[in-house]
Amino acid sequence: MKRVISGIAMTTCMFLSAAHATPLVSDSSSSLTVQGSLKDNAGASGCAVSLSRNSVEDIKRADDIPVQGEDARIITSVKLSVNPINPSLSPIDSCSREIIDGKVGLKLTGPADTVEGTALANTLTGDNAASGVGFGIFTLQGKSIPLNSVVNIATDVNSGAAVIGVAMVKLKGQTVTEGNAQSNLTVEVAHL
């Protein structure tokens, strides 16, 4: 029995000494997030439009809004920018070259009013919708810009920008009723 206990004690000591002989290692892991996209042509170029704001709110009294086609005194400004889709290719990509050469503008489109087709239509319907109004597009000086017009851009190296104004307008020959109004303006790259 003494031999069995001595054997167990010896075996335990050998295991303990082996455990103490192993250095304490503290491993630490890291991770890397990998992202990418697959395109037909990795060197693709083109122009992209961005806006300084996604929405404009225009709250006025009917007496304070201009008639369609007239100058506006109070507008909300929006900066429209056009830049190369793939800036790493600048200044040799086609967008940068066209901007530098003055061959890029911005076309302003959207649902046209039914009176003259020069303002954005109020797309809201129902009991709370205003009638007889739309949204005009203006220069910073308040001069009317007809819908579907191309706006010239000022160039800055390989990008361009223009600033427009937006304001509610009374549609010519229509009776204005109070309520809510809404529309959507699409800004497209125009190759001149």
Task: Specify if 18 maps to a domain.
Answer: no
Domain count, the chain: 1
Task: Specify if 10 maps to a domain.
Answer: no
Q: What is the pLDDT of residue 171?
A: 97
Q: What is the pLDDT of residue 82?
A: 92
The DSSP output letter for 173 is T
CA gap 4, 192 in Å, rounded? 99
Task: Specify if 6 maps to a domain.
Answer: no
Residue with tokens 């225009």: 58
CA gap 85, 77 in Å, rounded? 25
- Domain with 123, as residue range(s), is 47-191
Task: Specify if 35 maps to a domain.
Answer: no
CATH of the domain at 109: 2.60.40.1090
CA gap 49, 23 in Å, rounded? 60
Task: Specify if 160 maps to a domain.
Answer: yes
% residues pLDDT > 90 (the chain): 54
Task: Specify if 28 maps to a domain.
Answer: no
Query: What confidence tens digit (pLDDT) does each residue in 90-143 have?
Result: 566 788 888 888 999 999 999 999 999 999 999 999 999 999 999 999 999 999
- What is the dihedral angle through the alpha carbons of 102, 104, 119, 71, rounded to the nearest 10 degrees? -20
Query: What confidence tens digit (pLDDT) does each residue in 23-42 have?
Result: 555 554 444 545 554 455 54
Query: What confidence tens digit (pLDDT) does each residue in 12-21 have?
Result: 444 444 444 4
